[in-house]
């Protein structure tokens, strides 16, 4: 199947937009997933490890306090009995229980239950031994109590401290692993952001290149169509002017001569010896023929003024403006500047038609009793302005579409490789400005 090179790129651009939006959605889903993963990792691992480590440090500090208390109890330097330390041990025991409860709450999920049970059992056994020590002391046997401290409590306290130290090491290792995972996630997200950014920039580049290519094809086609349209318009307008000139000549030469001959013959017949009634009929027919001759000549001049071919553009304008004033009753202020160059016929006819159409628009639409025509002649350029202070061009075409006359004036300006502007002067109304480069125009 043959593809049209000038087909609309809308479908491909929509497909590219859909792919881009899908990529953005996928990457957003991925980024949100990584954010949730980081949040979960920080909440379940890092924060829990830190809180658990704080409780383990609290327990470790209490163990150190117990160790100092047992050292003082064994030295016997203090003048207090062993039962005096029972209150301190009770306070430390309550703090132990609270710290242990919170430690169980924040313990890492990966911690084995057996180790946690061993830790709890060790503490329970330690406090059982503490109770035995104070029972012996209260029963008046401080020697056996100190022996139990030396042989049982101190080893148990050392074992518990070692367990707490290992748990702290495990928490530190778990936190380091979590930090490493966080760093890995950040690196992965950063790498994917760069990849996504590169993919988006590549997609934008490819889309822009494709759009530029499509626009170039479209503009090339428009240029070709514009060239064809201009060529067709040039041929149509040229053919129209040739047909109008031919008809004008036919009317002036053929019909004009026929009507002139008829008038001459009727004048001779009127002078002959004929009945009065017949002479009156001949005179009436002669007047009709003369009126037809004048209308034929007027129509011939309207189709193509012969003065344009004989005297040039300037004389044709001098001739047409007074006739326009007489026919419409609109006063035209005509101003000429510069020496009129020899304007070729193929240019003069189009400038004349623009002047004719602009003044006809004033008569038909402007609702103004006065107009201004300014012609500025230069060796290389011709500037024609037609101005009125009527209703204005916007009110003349309420539909927003230019009339056929405006379109025809633009086509003629394009044929002359000039420019035409329709603007609103400060006083209101419409200003038509035609600018023609005389030296560059060649119309075939």
Could you write out the DSSP letters of every residue in 253-318? IIIHHHHHHHHHHHHHHHHSS--HHHHHHHHHHHHHHHHHHHHHHHHHHHHS-HHHHHH-HHHHHH
Q: How confident is the model at residue 333 (pLDDT cuts 50, 70, 90)?
A: very high
Whether residue 135 is predicted with pLDDT greater than 50 in this model: the reply is yes
Give strand pairing partners of 370: 331
Give strand pairing partners of 434: 384, 420
Q: How confident is the model at residue 149 (pLDDT cuts 50, 70, 90)?
A: confident
Verify that 204 and 330 share a domain, yes or no: no
What tens digit of pLDDT does each residue of 95-105 get? 888 888 887 77
Least confident range of 41-50, 280-289, 339-348: 41-50
DSSP of 384-435: EEEEE-SS-HHHH-TTSPPPHHHHHHHHHHHHTT-EEEEE--TTSSEEEEEE
CA distance 408 to 422: 13
Q: Is residue 342 part of a domain?
A: yes
8 A C-beta contact, residue 109 and residue 44: yes
Distances (CA, A) of 442 to 257, 340, 380, 438: 36, 19, 14, 9
Q: How confident is the model at residue 279 (pLDDT cuts 50, 70, 90)?
A: confident
Q: Is residue 132 part of a domain?
A: yes
Least confident range of 150-159, 218-227, 240-249: 240-249
Whether residue 3 is predicted with pLDDT greater than 50 in this model: the reply is no
Verify that 198 and 313 share a domain, yes or no: no
Q: Is residue 324 part of a domain?
A: yes
Strand (E) or helix (H) holding 376:
strand 370-377
pTM (2 d.p.)? 0.50
Q: What average pLDDT score do residues 402-417 get?
A: 81
Q: Is residue 378 part of a domain?
A: yes
Whether residue 374 is predicted with pLDDT greater than 90 in this model: the reply is yes
Q: Is residue 221 part of a domain?
A: no
- Give me the pLDDT at residue 386, please: 93
CA distance 20 to 205: 12
Q: How confident is the model at residue 2 (pLDDT cuts 50, 70, 90)?
A: very low
Q: 150-154, 424-428, 431-435: which has the highest mean pLDDT?
A: 431-435
Last residue in a domain, options 180, 212, 244 = 212
Q: Is residue 85 part of a domain?
A: yes
- Give me the pLDDT at residue 41, please: 65
8 A C-beta contact, residue 303 and residue 247: yes
Q: 392-406 in b/e burial notation, b at 16+ Cβ within 10 A?
A: bbeebeeeeeebebb
Closest CA to 411 of 234, 244, 239: 234
CA distance 154 to 376: 120
What tens digit of pLDDT does each residue of 160-210 get? 888 888 888 887 877 777 778 777 877 877 788 888 788 878 878 888 888
Beta strands across the sheet bearing 419-423: 331-337, 370-377, 381-388, 430-437, 419-423
What tens digit of pLDDT does each residue of 239-275 get? 776 776 677 666 666 666 776 777 777 777 767 777 7
Verify that 321 and 195 share a domain, yes or no: no
What tens digit of pLDDT does each residue of 34-51 get? 777 777 766 666 777 788
- Give me the pLDDT at residue 1, please: 42
- Give me the pLDDT at residue 5, please: 47
Last residue in a domain, options 160, 189, 212 = 212
Verify that 330 and 205 share a domain, yes or no: no
Q: How confident is the model at residue 78 (pLDDT cuts 50, 70, 90)?
A: low
Distances (CA, A) of 81 to 70, 220, 298: 13, 110, 147
Q: How confident is the model at residue 110 (pLDDT cuts 50, 70, 90)?
A: low
Verify that 354 and 208 share a domain, yes or no: no
Q: What is the DSSP letter of 215?
A: H
* Placement of tokens 């000038």 in the chain: 6
Chain centroid to Cα 403, Å, comes to: 34
Domain range for 411:
306-440
- Which CATH number characterizes residue 348's domain? 3.30.565.10
What is the residue-averaged pLDDT of the chain? Answer: 79
β-pairing verdict for 419-423 and 430-437: antiparallel
Q: What average pLDDT score do residues 346-373 get?
A: 88
Last residue in a domain, options 164, 197, 212 = 212
Q: Is residue 411 part of a domain?
A: yes
Verify that 202 and 332 share a domain, yes or no: no
Q: Is residue 168 part of a domain?
A: yes
Least confident range of 278-287, 322-331, 395-404: 395-404
* Placement of tokens 């409780």 in the chain: 55
Residue 44, SS3?
A: helix
Verify that 317 and 434 share a domain, yes or no: yes
Based on the structure, what is the number of domains in the chain? 2
């Amino acid at each position: 199947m043959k593809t049209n090179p000038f087909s609309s790129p809308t479908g491909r651009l929509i497909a590219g937009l859909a792919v881009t939006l899908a990529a953005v959605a996928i990457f957003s889903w991925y980024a949100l997933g990584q954010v949730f993963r980081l949040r979960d990792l920080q909440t379940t691992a890092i924060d829990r490890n830190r809180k658990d480590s704080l409780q383990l440090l609290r327990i470790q500090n209490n163990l150190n306090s117990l160790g100092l208390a047992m050292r003082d109890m064994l030295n016997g330097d203090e003048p207090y009995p062993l039962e005096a330390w029972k209150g301190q041990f009770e306070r430390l025991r309550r703090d132990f229980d609270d710290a242990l409860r919170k430690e169980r709450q924040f313990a890492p999920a990966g911690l084995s239950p057996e180790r946690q049970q061993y830790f709890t059992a060790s503490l329970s056994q330690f406090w059982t031994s503490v109770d035995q020590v104070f029972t012996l002391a209260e029963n008046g046997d401080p020697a056996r109590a100190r022996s139990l401290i030396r042989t049982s409590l101190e080893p148990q306290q050392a074992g518990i401290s070692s367990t707490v130290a290992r748990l702290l090491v495990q928490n530190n290792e778990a936190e380091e692993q979590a930090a490493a995972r966080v760093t890995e996630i950040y690196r992965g997200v950063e790498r994917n952001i760069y990849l996504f950014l590169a993919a988006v920039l590549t997609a934008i580049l490819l889309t822009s290149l494709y759009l530029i290519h499509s626009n170039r094809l479209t503009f090339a086609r428009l240029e070709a169509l514009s060239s064809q349209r201009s060529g067709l318009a040039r041929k149509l307008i040229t053919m129209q002017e040739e047909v109008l000139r031919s008809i004008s000549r036919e009317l002036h030469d053929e019909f004009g001569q026929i009507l002139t001959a008829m008038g001459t013959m009727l004048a001779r017949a009127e002078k002959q010896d004929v009945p009065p009634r017949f002479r009156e009929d001949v005179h009436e027919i002669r007047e009709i023929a003369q009126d037809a001759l004048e209308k034929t000549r007027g129509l011939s001049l309207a189709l193509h003024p012969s003065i344009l071919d004989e005297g040039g553009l300037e004389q044709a304008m001098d001739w047409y403006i007074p006739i326009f004033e007489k026919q419409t009753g609109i006063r035209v202020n005509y101003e000429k500047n510069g020496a009129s160059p020899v304007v070729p016929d193929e240019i003069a006819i189009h400038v004349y038609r623009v002047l004719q159409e602009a003044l006809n628009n004033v008569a038909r639409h402007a609702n103004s009793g006065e107009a201004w025509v300014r012609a500025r002649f230069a060796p290389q350029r011709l500037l024609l302005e037609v101005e009125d202070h009527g209703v204005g061009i916007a009110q003349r075409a309420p539909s927003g579409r230019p009339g056929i006359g405006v379109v025809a004036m633009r086509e003629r300006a394009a044929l002359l490789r000039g420019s035409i502007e329709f603007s609103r002067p400060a006083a209101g109304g419409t200003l038509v400005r035609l600018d023609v480069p005389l030296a560059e125009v060649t119309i075939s």
